[in-house]
Structure 1
Amino acid sequence: MYKMPNGVLTVEKSSLGQLEELNSGGEGTVYRINSDSNKVFKEFRDVVRSELDLDSLTKLIELPTRFSQHDQAFILEHSVWPDTIVTENNSFVGFLMPIIPDTYFVTHGVRAYPGYSDCDWNKLIMRRSWVGNSNIVSSVPQLEGIPLLDLLIDLSETYAFLHRNQVVAGDVSGRNMVWRARPTPRAVLLDNDGFRIVGTRGVTQPKQSPDWVDPHLNGGDTTIESDQFKLALAVLRGYFGLGVLQHNSKELNNCNDPIGMEIISMAAKSALAGPRPSADDWVNLLKKHRRHLNNAGRPVITVTPPDPLSQPRVTTFIATRPRIKLQ
């Protein structure tokens, strides 16, 4: 391992030792590093390496070093920020990043073969769909009330932090955010190599996930404004937990919950081409309603999940993607 002149750490792949594949996607494969239980290695596929921008990754790695100690701690608690460049025969092949902590994993699946997987945002969105189903075993917390608002506030504060520092998350989706309920509700953003600093092209080609596509981008690069649209989807879908949503659905049209009504209204504004509610706007709205619930003395509603089954730490989980159309 050595430092580049800009202070960014670089390591040869051969020095990582034995690697254990955790999961694989279109861009590359993520490996557990057996010699370092706190890190994982993302190796890009050969077919995408020619498109990678090492300078953009270097800028991302450098960025937290400019933050205050408090801000460094915040972003490292809410992301898996790249921290080391990996080379092979002097060519850039991937990077190291923190491993997702165990508190963000849950048992979930059919009773005969329940899986152990990350607790992604899709599970928050779909949380009510398996309640009462005796064929499903799940330790996914059934968040409602103040704990749910705390989680949505935490997610919104994370995006507000990125945007204040001119960072675009880009590919926001139900698979790229994980969450926990204990000890405090918290969201963590994944696929951070898809982040880009405003004014740079990004490490990889910009992309959007199905059902999380900003209709006003028209094929252009993702922006802070497209992040605002997707944050609105994440809050709306997470709050109602309806799974498949349409903006004219019965559940939304008949909503008489003051919190839900304001969330629907702000989400609708986020779908417009003009100025959109910012992440800070979401923080302020959600905190206002949290204070109201707290002052009203309503009980904290959450379901304590059972202890996860003793299974391998990471398995594949494919969640049904929620749909929503804001008009």
Structure 2
Amino acid sequence: MINAADLALGPMISDGGQGMVFELTDDDTRVLKQYKAGVTVDPDGLVALADWRAGLAGKDLAVIDQHTAWPEQVVAFDDGTHGFLMRKAPASFWHVVEGARVPRDLTYAVSQDAARFVGLRPASPGEAVAVVFQLATVFDVFHRNGVAYGDLSSRNLLWTGGSRPSTLLIDCDAAGVEGAPRALQEAQTPLWDCAWDGVEGRERDEYKLALLFLRLYWHFEGIIGDSTPQVQVPASRPVSREVADLLGAGLRRVSLRPSAADWLPSLRELERGLRRTRAA
């Protein structure tokens, strides 16, 4: 843990519900998040998150550093609050709307109306598959190394489109490391929570991975629950039988869902098929 007085703090660039984010004048690759007074945060949980990343190596570490804004160092402030250093979201993950910079989150990938309102377009089938593939890769690293993310929603995954889409998972301080206290109380986002009781931890991530595919690939914004007998999706965006099976098993009330690793080969093959179709 380091002291905030030892950091070269720059201007505040964000003032959210839980905390404030500051630039660093001597480091343009990272930012500092400071929790507001009154926000319940367990500093030991923050330390567990930073220590988890420090224990990774090789490809697993590369995936986390490329696709997440993971807590890297815990920071203590003289007023008794805490915070942490994390990767700064590159400019490609931001969009300017009426002179204001806003994060380019999945709201604009899923909702055609929201995307049109800010001058963007929703994700194409190829972009959707690439985004889900990258998040499945991140979740695979999480689950193999004892982490559950939890509150995946359209607000905490940033994305870029085009021929080489990229993703950045944010709000990682709410993740949980197995055997360690949580830094923050776990929350769930409406329309993104799992409808089935008892689905927690890694299994909840697996459910949300399937839900993410449904929302991104077909721009489905409806509710999934006990009262949802089936989901109608456009026939103009077909998928392989393997992906359809993964989606069905991921969303149903079942005892065992497909893992993040189970999705990877089928998504890779679907992406290749979409490229062949575009090239034809």
User: Percent identity over the alignment?
Assistant: 24
Query: Shift of the alpha carbon at 1:174?
Result: 0.6
The answer to whether the Cα contact below 8 Å between 2:43 and 2:183 also exists between their aligned partners in 1 is yes
TM-fit CA distance, 1:244: 4.3
Q: Aligned letter for 1:299?
A: R
Q: Which residue of 1 aligns with 2:103?
A: 118
Per-residue Cα deviation, 1:270-312 (whole angstroms, up to 9, x for no partner) = 2314111211222222122223334xx32269xxxxxxxxxxx
Aligned pair partner of 2:267 in 283, 286, 292: 286
Q: Give the drift of 1:15.
A: 3.3
Q: Distance in 2 between matches of 1:190 and 1:298?
A: 33
Select between 263-272 and 55-64 the one with higher mean Cα deviation. 263-272
Q: Say yes or no: does 1:65 pair with 2:54.
A: yes
Corresponding position of 1:237: 215
Which of 155, 158, 163 matches 2:135? 155
TM-score (norm 1): 0.74
For residues 227 and 88 of structure 1, the distance between their equivalents in structure 2, rounded to whole angstroms, comes to 33
Change (3 A) 1:300 1:165: farther
**Unmatched 5+ stretches in structure 2:** none
- 1:61-105 CA-partner distances (Å, limit 9, x unpaired): 122232223322221001011111111238451111111011111
Q: Identify the residue that residue 175 of structure 1 maps to in structure 2.
A: 155
Q: CA 1:67 to 1:250, structure 2 compared with 1: closer, same or farther past 3 Å?
A: closer
Aligned match of 1:38 in 29, 40, 55? 29
Q: State the secondary structure of the residue aligned to 1:75.
A: helix
SS in 2 for 1:129: helix
SS of 1:116's equivalent in the other structure is strand
Aligned residue number for residue 277 of structure 2: 298
Q: Do structure 1's residue 93 and structure 2's residue 77 form an aligned pair?
A: no
CA distance, structure 1, for counterparts of residue 240 and residue 219 of structure 2: 11
> What secondary structure, in the 3-state scheme, does the structure 2 residue paired with 1:89 have?
coil
Alpha-carbon separation, structure 2, partners of 1:137 and 1:176: 18
1:129 and 1:244 map into 2 onto residues whose CA distance is 14
DSSP 3-state at the match of 1:259: coil
Mark the structure with the bigger radius of gyration: 1
Per the alignment, residue 225 of structure 1 pairs with 203
Kindly state the Cα deviation for residue 148 of structure 1 after the two structures are TM-superposed: 3.3
SS at match of 2:158: strand
Shift in CA distance, 47/129, structure 1 to aligned 2, threshold 3 Å: same
Secondary structure of the corresponding residue to residue 181 of structure 2: coil
* Structure number having the greater helix percentage: 2
CA distance in 2, matches of 1:137, 1:256: 26
Per-residue deviation, 1:114: 5.9
> In angstroms, what is the RMSD of aligned CA positions?
2.9
- SS of the residue corresponding to residue 28 of structure 2 reads coil
C-alpha displacement at 1:248, in angstroms? 6.1
- The structure, 1 or 2, with the larger RCO (C-alpha pairs under 8 Å, 6+ apart) is 1
Aligned residues: 276
**Distance 1:129-1:114 versus aligned 2 partners, 3 A rule:** farther
SS in 2 for 1:46: coil
Q: Which moved more, 1:255-264 or 1:224-233?
A: 255-264
- State the 1:238 CA deviation: 0.7
Q: 1:299/1:205 Cα in 2 relative to 1: closer, same or farther (>3 Å)?
A: same
> Which string of whole-angstrom CA distances, capped at 9 and with x for unpartnered residues, describes residues 39-71 of structure 1?
2111112212xx422222212112223222332
Cα distance change on mapping 1:260 and 1:173 into 2, 3 Å: farther
